[in-house]
Amino acid sequence: MEKEIGKLDFYEKVLRNPGAEFRRLLKSEPYIFTTGVYTPLQAKLAQIAGLKAVYISGYSCSVGYLGAADLNILTLEEYVWIARHITSAVTVPVVADAESGFGSLFNAMRAVKEFWRAGVAAIHVEDQVFPKRCGHLAGKQVMSMDDAVAMFKAIDRVRRNVDPDFFIIARTDAIGAANVEAERQVEEAIRRAKAYIGAGADMVWAEFTRPDDVDAITRFAEGVRKEYPDVPLAFNYSSSFRWHRAKVPVRFDWLAELGYKYIFITLGALHAETYAVYNFARDLATRREEALWELQKVKEGHPTESHHKLGDFDYFKELEVTFYPWAKVKYERGKGYGAEKEERDERVL
């Protein structure tokens, strides 16, 4: 990780065709797996840690920026703002949550252009009625299949005109929907997924209701791939489930064998972050300055120990001195991180 921090790729290179790169990864890798993020720093850490793509999680964005559940509160403009900053921080493909299109099919068509302009490789759009909600919250409903197919056809039309490599993932929420009879939900999900592929989707995904619903996971994959064997599937390894308590362990490799080629832990970064931040804040509330001392002891030697390095100050210093030769003087005379002549003090980061 130390070699990656300060690497010019993060600042001076961009993915010229992120959609094409995502497609290349799908063909060259057994499968792609990643975590959901909602900030540029989380995305950057994901890339540095070795993940080959990142996912902008809608629920993470809603909780992270509003402190609110995923109930379609964030607007298209806010999502695109987030996406633009995240794509600027990494050089791996970014997949973004485009909700249920943010309104009518006209809004969905606009979303394709806006997310493409923001530099994302792919978006996923779901077939819930507007306003949508997290697929694991009670009360969700799906739009009619005719309306959903029309939306995906419109999305595909814009994509083909803007950038044929831009990747479209169609999600169906038929499983668990309040307006679909329970006994036919899996079959309805299969029926819808196949229709969305016919409407132009590059990949399909169904939300499930349990972490170990092996029957539904298998039936959906087989049902779709029987007719469309070359179309990859997406799998939400959802943070809404306690996977460690599943009666049947669900492994990434097994999912990939079924055809799930893009697997993502939707709120992975958010849960890791909230766990760490809460523990520190609670410790601070009770132990005051000793909480910071303990945190610094734990992080000593860790790749994220120095916020200066995490923010690539050395890279920016080198740029400054290269283009402004006079800037070298202030580093020779100054004190603090980056000083040229100041002796190293182990008490200072």
Measured between alpha carbons, how far is 168 from 112 in angstroms, rounded to an integer? 9
Collect all residues with Cβ–Cβ distance below 8 Å to 318 and sequence separation of at least 6. Answer: none
Contact between 227 and 258 under an 8 Å Cβ cutoff? The reply is no
Contact between 203 and 167 under an 8 Å Cβ cutoff? The reply is yes
Contact between 112 and 123 under an 8 Å Cβ cutoff? The reply is yes
Catalytic annotation present for 134? yes
Nearest CA to 108 out of 39, 224, 200 is that of 200
Residue type, 193: A
Per the listing, tokens 């410790």 go with 283
Residue 302: its H or E element: none
User: Of residues 134, 155, 204, 255, which has the active-site annotation?
Assistant: 134
Cis omega before residue 93 (within 30°)? no
**Catalytic machinery residues:** 134
